[in-house]
Structure 1
């Protein structure tokens, strides 16, 4: 063939190529338009909703659908609409992203949304669908590969049709009020085998974690936070080959252990906070070469941290707080050069000083090393961490002054040094930290005069706490020109004599702590006027306040959650708290009048109500039975209430104290419905009833005080086998109870058999509230634990009526005194080994003191006086080495008083009125010669352990015996041996 042929072929190929390019360009320029039926469906879907800006919480939210109105009534291309995505070839709508678009309303099953049958990606997150259900027709969108309905106020059960979306790769139903029961988690997992990302956080699953998750080999992301999961978490899930993100946090009943991690793991984020995972962190943690985020906060991990943790050098976030880790902090942590967040506090590390290796972490912005028993001065090595914005070294054992070099940490926004032993003055230079938003110095030994104006120069300051120091704080007259806007202000125990005038310009204040100052007079009107819309927590207790400048019928703080006005000098009628109030304390004042029925009948939020120690009168409102569903603590003690106790049906009630009033009648039987009740105090009233044995069915009742009433009759035991299983304190004194002591109860009070000497915690009721606040357009959450409400009781102990302002959980006591009990003291009392106080005085008890009481080794006070007891005091009682008070006076006891240990400390009045007793400390001696017989002595060569009581015997032998010579010989021999024993035991006296 000639060259012309090849030329012809070449030209033909060029023409074909040119034609191909033209056709391709023609195709691309003629992209199909949106289908008219789909455009119509989208517009119809839009019209089903209101546009409400409060429906979306994202600060960057805007309404995507509002721009659609430009095209209504026209044949336009919906593929160009905001949030709409079309297929380039077919023009069908395949993606719809209306996230955070201010949509408010419901999606019904007949919604036009379901006409978009070609949808592959659907995102409706961050809207408000008004507690509607996810329509079952959602499962008909069979082409969906991505579905995001998170944070959109959906409600109820997730429809089973969701599990039919077999092509789903991404599914996010998190942060709604949804349940996953039918289908359950296993149904979802087994049917959606193509899933790569699954987020069901805050969905109520309430089940164990299915092992079927271990078969999802494509899974890269798994979020199951706050799902009420329980049981043991399968270790195999950690080892899924493609898993990069795993968060199962905030499932408090979910247990598990960390597995051995293999090299090649792709895990980047692991969050287990708030679970019950336990055990040690394995050395193989060092194999997680990709991990950048590790959060094990608030679990039960223990043991030492492995040095290999320092080899995961991509870590930027490490939170190990609130566990039981011990030993040394590994030096290798200094290798984590990318770390920006480090939390090690609230563990058992052996770190009297801060490890120097931590100063290598030059990128740290957050360092939390609180509650670690760090001693000495604030470590100067922290000065090297110049990028720090958050520093907390609170609740340690730091001493010294606040150092000036702290001011070199110029990026600090939070500085927490509270609960240490710092002293000296607050340095003026602290005002140089211009970005500081939180400064918390409470509970130290800081002293001197502080002009608050210095700190008010910090324009970003929103939280300032100076309480519980030795400061004298004062302010000048301040204008509003340059003041920061406070959200939290703590000035307790600051020797302040008046409300600081700069509060006139604080209209965003949420928490105000001003207790234990010297404030006289009335709460100024300008104060509560400025803060009436913002204030949520006020503590003004222990001042000299007499009331409000303008006495309100309802307390003006509209959003108040906790209000403490206790121990002031408030007079007049009781101010009514607003409906938002959870804690209301006005005890220890001089308020009078009645409880307004509206306060109890229309307030469904109150949980802690303490009106004790006032002059309130009238009857207790009868609507208490309907009000008390929310109530935890109800304290009306030490007032002048009369009448009967109305029915109380509160299922959540933990404490009821109606003591020291003028109440009469029966104990209301409705109390048997208060199944959470821990303390019931009805003492010092005029109630007439038999023993309420039916209270024995309450599973958590620990304290029962019925003292000084008109109870009568025998204490009978119910036929049921439930007999006060948790009771630890019972006081039935000063009543008319008769019959024998309730020995069958003693055999069933199992909580009293426990010895918990180390348990020094106190019984209390407390609340925790998440307060969300906005600062410079940024949302911040403060976990706010309100000051715990400490339970208290009054009891006679060691001969004195005593107010227990706090009740130790280990305290165990029985007081049955001043009744008409007869018969013998049961041997079964001896099984209550945890008893610290036992008072059976002023009864008609007969028989002997049982030797089984010697088993009560924790006993500190024993009063058996004013009875008809006979026989000897058991010698075994000298084993009661904690006994401080003994009173067996005015009985018919005989014989020798035991000697040794605590019995050598009791005085004569412990034994008065027992003419048959003899021996120390009484002047009446025992035996035929009015002498105490010598103890049995035996000498066996080695006298290194001289017999107990030998000194008495030496003295007696010198004065008594068969004759002076024998006495002197024996005395000399024993004195010599005693001297030898004394020298060997204690050395010579110098």
Structure 2
């Protein structure tokens, strides 16, 4: 079938029109194509940067092709100029310098660099040169430093997002300029930007047409201006996690298009009553976690029928969950944790067919764990930990469930076999003060997507399934501590695993530490303490590049700990605890030289686990200042070195003084000899020092008096002599810190002898001389024979004032004989202690 005939004139007009259309469309200008390619080459691709990112958009950028057709690039079709660049989630890694060719694209109107890693780059002042910019998004891309005031030059800007970076800061003057000059601004997100010096009242200059404001985690403090709440076009407002922010949320005249409201962790008062609820009919997102809720009636929330997200956790709600909440049929996220809610979990939750997340932990719910929860078709996360619920999960049938935490309830019996059918389960926590018994079935290894497995603090017995060592490439957390597991540690850790946390503490495991652990190259925590492991020191663990915590305490480990010749062995180790074993020989000087993380403090991270994609918080049990404590969150700033209760010999090496970030040092109950090194005075962060029950001699270094954070000091049961250093810090320690050192004297000892009222000692007026001169002229028997015990101590102290630093030979022999008698008693008791320990 042919085309219909057309006249020659019509054909000519058609060709002219076609040619005009083609000629009006330009390809990408060559200099812009080159700029983009040079920008691409200045960054590497980090394929593991984000689990959300599908592929780097710059992959399609090829020389010799039209850049207007490249992924993420938008051009003006008439001029060929690049006007838009969307590189969100493109896996870019590297530094964005001020001389980057990006800033030569002067016609950019939209720039999105979010969700990349710009490696702590500073936000360049050259961003202010994009005079046509209407959208700038630098969200979640590891920028830091000062936000330049030149951003305020972008007068056409409608949307600005600098949020969730590495805590950049914005000075008050720059903030005021942005608010005053950007009159077209409708959306502003400065979450995680430090604006703590900004006065909230400066926000009053925002345009009445403003629609979205997010200032969460900004350090904002003071009274928030009430007129912002009443902006007529306000759709989204998030002020969460500004604990110093006060004010009052109005109950009327609110925008009828407000759909997102976040006031969590602020002191802004909210009256959750009928007047307010009736004005928030459009709300889809409501977060009032740990808020200043003055009055509340949870039953009124049934009017917010558009809600998909509701967080009322960490408040003081009591009573039962009102049945009226059943009308919130669009809800997908419900968090009522950390309240005082009681009663059984009613079946009104059964109608929430869209619920994906349920958090009801840390309440007073009782009764059985309702089986209908496991039948909710969309449910993926269920957290009921720390309630009074009774186990009833034998019929768990829910193949979409990914997160399950039932810990700190009254679970009993064996682990339900139905759990092993949850093929999509990524987090399983049945731990902490439950009463689960029986063995861990090897069927648990069918959960191939499991990232977190925590069955700790139960009464599980039998052997650890060998398959846990070869679980696959998903498991990140394995916590089976505080059970009754027997046998050996799994020896089949595979090379492709991503295990970060391994805790088998408090079981009855025997045998050796398996060499295959070196395949766990991402391990940050190893806790094998309180078992029956018989082995030598596992030198191979020093090859683990990410290891930060190593606990091998209370086992049957023995032999020398020589340390490695490699300079970076255990370089990231923050906690090193090999106490209560049978290690012998000198202290491991080579390791002390390579413990770089104990030499410097890192205050950039508060908790180790908050960077972990699983959301699981590491915990360990540790002796802290003499008390066994469970750290439910391991602060990254904690530095501990504990080699106590072993058989180490020799001197304390000077190199320990390099570990300046140490907070706790325990070398007690060994056979260490020689002097206390004055280099310990360099440990300026030290809070606890225990050198007790050794064979240390000489004087206490006066440099220890400079340790202003030192709260616990134990030098007891050694062979120390001379005066106890004076000073504010040493005056805080009592006699128990120094007992068992018969050659020591000072006010601390005298206070114990004289009921805290030490007699004053006469000032010395004698010149130093030889022993015979001082003995004949200024030192009589009365100073020594004032009595035994406390009188003996006072006599020694008085004699010291007379003698200064010289001692008669007869006096030395008398003290030495007294020490030898006491030493025999001490070692006898130590032998008994060792027999009990071993």
Aligned equivalents of 1:410, 1:459: Cα separation in 2: 14
Q: Shift of the alpha carbon at 1:415?
A: 0.9
Which of 488, 495, 520 is the matching residue for 1:644?
Answer: 488
Question: Does the Cα contact within 8 Å between 1:356 and 1:381 map onto a contact in 2?
Answer: no
Say if 2:282 is the partner of 1:435: yes
Distance between the aligned counterparts of 1:721 and 1:373, measured in 2? 41
Which deviations, in whole Å up to 9, do the C-alpha atoms of 1:504-533 show, x marking residues without a partner?
21111001111111011211123322x1x2
User: 1:55 matched to which residue of 2?
Assistant: none
CA distance in 1, matches of 2:591, 2:667: 15
Rounded to whole Å, the distance in 1 between the matches of 2:766 and 2:170 is 53
* Deviation of 1:424 (Å): 5.9
Equivalence map 1:166-177=2 (5 Å): none
Counterpart of 1:858 in structure 2 is 685
Where do 1:568-587 residues align within 5 Å?
Answer: 568-575=409-416, 576=419, 578-587=422-431
How has the CA–CA distance of structure 1 residues 397 and 379 changed in structure 2, closer, same or farther, with 3 Å as cutoff? farther
| 8 A Cα contact 1:825 1:850, kept in partner | yes
Match of 1:306 among 120, 143, 149: 149
Q: CA deviation at 1:416?
A: 1.0
Cα distance, 1:543 vs structure 2: 0.5
Q: Are the equivalent residues in 2 in contact too, given 1:402–1:427 (CA < 8 A)? A: no
Pair 1:916–1:338, CA change in 2 (3 A): closer
Q: 1:241 to 1:710 in 2, by over 3 A?
A: same
Q: CA deviation at 1:363?
A: 2.5
Equivalent-residue separation in structure 1 for 2:378 and 2:76 (angstroms): 40
What is the rounded CA distance, in whole Å, between the counterparts of 1:378 and 1:635 in structure 2? 45
> Aligned partners of 2:557, 2:325: CA distance in 1, in Å?
64
Aligned to 2:115: 274
Which residue number corresponds to residue 556 of structure 1? 397
For residues 667-678 of structure 1, what are the structure 2 equivalents within 5 Å?
667-678=513-524
- Report the CA distance shift for 1:832/1:360 in structure 2 as closer, same or farther (over 3 A): closer
Q: How does 1:737-756 map to 2 (within 5 A)?
A: 737-756=583-602
Look up the SS of the partner of 1:408 in the other structure: coil
| Structure-2 separation of matches of 1:801 and 1:478 | 47
Q: Are positions 1:292 and 2:134 aligned together?
A: yes
Check the 8 A contact 1:413/1:436 in 2, yes or no. Answer: yes
Mapped to 1, the partners of 2:325 and 2:115 lie a distance apart of 46
Q: Deviations over 1:146-172 (max 9, x none)?
A: 9xxxxxxxxxxxxxxxxxxxxxxxxxx
* Distance (Å, rounded) in 1 between the aligned partners of 2:9 and 2:438: 88
In the alignment, which residue of structure 1 is the partner of 2:88? 249
3-state DSSP class of the match of 1:303? coil
Q: Give me the whole-angstrom Cα distance separating, in 2, the residues matched to 1:288 and 1:302.
A: 20
Determine helix, strand or coil for the equivalent of 2:95. strand
What is the CA–CA distance in structure 2 between the aligned matches of 1:253 and 1:278, rounded to whole Å?
11
CA distance in 2: counterparts of 1:395 and 1:672, whole angstroms: 41
Q: Is the 8 A contact 1:331 1:355 kept in 2?
A: no
Q: CA deviation at 1:875?
A: 2.2
Gaps of 5+ in 2: 16-21, 29-51, 754-758, 768-796, 803-838
Cα distance in 1 between the residues matched to 2:426 and 2:636: 25
Partner of 1:632: 476
Q: Report the Cα offset of residue 637 of structure 1.
A: 0.5
Aligned to 1:821: 648
Pick aligned residue for 1:798 from 610, 615, 625 = 625
The equivalences for 1:129-144 within 5 A come to none
Q: CA deviation at 1:801?
A: 1.8
SS in 1 for 2:382: strand
- Contact 1:398–1:422, Cα closer than 8 Å, also in 2: no
Measured after TM superposition, the shift of residue 681 of structure 1 is 0.7
Shift of 1:335: 4.8
Indicate if the aligned counterparts of 2:251 and 2:276 stay in contact, CA closer than 8 A. Answer: no
- Tell me whether 420-429 or 889-898 shows the greater mean CA deviation: 420-429
Aligned to 2:367, which of 521, 540, 545?
521
Q: Deviations over 1:319-364 (max 9, x none)?
A: 2223514212134534544433222232122554435565542332
Give 5+ residue unaligned stretches, structure 1.
1-21, 32-86, 90-119, 121-144, 147-174, 202-218, 223-239, 769-785, 938-955, 962-990
Q: Which has the larger radius of gyration?
A: 1
CA contact (8 A) 2:356 2:378 kept: yes
Aligned to 2:659: 832
Tell me the residue number matched to 1:616: 460
Q: Is contact 1:471–1:494 with CA below 8 Å preserved after alignment? A: yes
Q: Does 1:413 align with 2:259?
A: yes
Aligned to 2:37: none
C-alpha deviation, 1:561, in angstroms: 2.1
Distance in 1 between the 2:252 and 2:197 partners? 21
Q: Distance in 2 between matches of 1:243 and 1:760?
A: 39
**In structure 2, distance between residues paired with 1:930 and 1:628:** 72
Aligned residues of 1:310 and 1:334 also touching (Cα < 8 A): no
Aligned 8 A contact 2:512 2:533 in 1 = yes
* 1:417-816 alignment runs, 5 A limit: 417-423=263-269, 425-432=271-278, 433-446=280-293, 448=295, 450-472=296-318, 474-478=320-324, 482-497=327-342, 498-529=344-375, 531=376, 533-548=377-392, 551-552=394-395, 555-575=396-416, 576=419, 578-588=422-432, 589-599=434-444, 601-647=445-491, 648-649=493-494, 651-718=497-564, 720=566, 722-756=568-602, 758=603, 761-764=606-609, 768=613, 788-816=615-643
The higher relative CO (CA closer than 8 Å, separation ≥ 6) is in 2
Distance 1:386 1:284 in 2: 31
Q: 1:249 to 1:280 in 2, by over 3 A?
A: same
**Cα displacement (A) at 1:265:** 3.8
Q: 1:892 to 1:263 in 2, by over 3 A?
A: closer
Q: Tell me the SS of whatever aligns to 1:922.
A: helix
Taking the aligned partners of 1:842 and 1:607, their CA distance within structure 2 comes to 40
Query: Offset at 1:917?
Result: 1.4
Q: Post-superposition shift, 1:538?
A: 1.5
Q: 1:920 aligns with which of 747, 763, 774?
A: 747
Q: Match of 1:504, SS?
A: helix
Q: CA deviation at 1:935?
A: 11
Q: TM-score, normalised by structure 1?
A: 0.66
- Report SS of the residue matched to 1:255: coil
2:591 aligned counterpart, secondary structure = helix
Match of 1:99 in 2: none
Contact 1:241/1:265 (8 A) holds in 2: no
Q: 1:488 to 1:755 in 2, by over 3 A?
A: closer
In the TM superposition, what is the alpha-carbon distance from 1:241 to its structure 2 partner?
8.0
Offset at 1:665? 0.2
Residue aligning to 1:968: none
Matches within 5 A, 1:26-45: none
Query: Residue 266 of structure 1: CA displacement?
Result: 2.6
Residues 677-713 of structure 1 deviation map (CA, whole Å, 9 limit, x = unaligned): 1111111111100111111111111111111111111
Q: Is the 8 A contact 1:632 1:654 kept in 2?
A: yes
Q: Using the alignment, how far apart are the partners of 2:170 and 2:67 within structure 1?
A: 40
Q: Is this contact kept in 2: 1:281–1:306, CA < 8 A?
A: no
Matched with 1:220 is: 75
Cross-structure match for 2:711: 884
Distance, in Å, in 2 between the alignment partners of 1:303 and 1:811 is: 29
User: TM-score scaled by structure 2?
Assistant: 0.78
Shift in CA distance, 767/714, structure 1 to aligned 2, threshold 3 Å: closer
Equivalent in the alignment of 1:894: 721
Distance across 1 between alignment mates of 2:127 and 2:747: 70
SS at match of 1:330: helix
Alpha carbons 1:573, 1:594 under 8 Å: kept: yes
Q: CA deviation at 1:486?
A: 0.9
Q: Distance in 1 between matches of 2:642 and 2:53?
A: 53
> What secondary structure does 2:94 align onto?
strand
Distance change >3 Å, CA 332–CA 347, structure 1 → 2: closer
The Cα shift of 1:936 comes to 12
Q: Is the 8 A contact 1:711 1:736 kept in 2?
A: yes
